[in-house]
Amino acid sequence: MIQFTQLEEKHLQAVRNIYNYYVAHTTVSFDLDAATTDKMRELTLHADSRFCSYAICDGVNLIGYMMLSPFIKKHSCARTAEITIYLNAEHKAQGLGTQALRFLEECAKEHGFHTLIAVICTENEPSMRMFQNQGYKLKGILEQVAFKFDRYLDVAYVSKLL
Domain extent listing, the chain: 3-161
Q: What is the pLDDT of residue 92?
A: 67
3-161 carries CATH number 2.40.33.10: no
Rounded distance between C-alpha atoms, residue 31 and residue 93, angstroms: 23
Which strands make up the sheet holding 62-70, listed edge to edge? 3-6, 53-57, 62-70, 80-87, 115-121, 151-161, 137-148
Q: Is 112 helix (H, G, I), strand (E, B) or coil?
A: coil
pLDDT, one tens digit per residue, over 32-77 is 999 998 998 888 888 888 899 999 998 888 989 999 999 988 888 8
- pTM of the complete model: 0.90
Q: What is the pLDDT of residue 74?
A: 81
The 8-class DSSP code of residue 67 comes to: E
pLDDT, one tens digit per residue, over 93-115 is 677 889 999 999 999 999 999 99
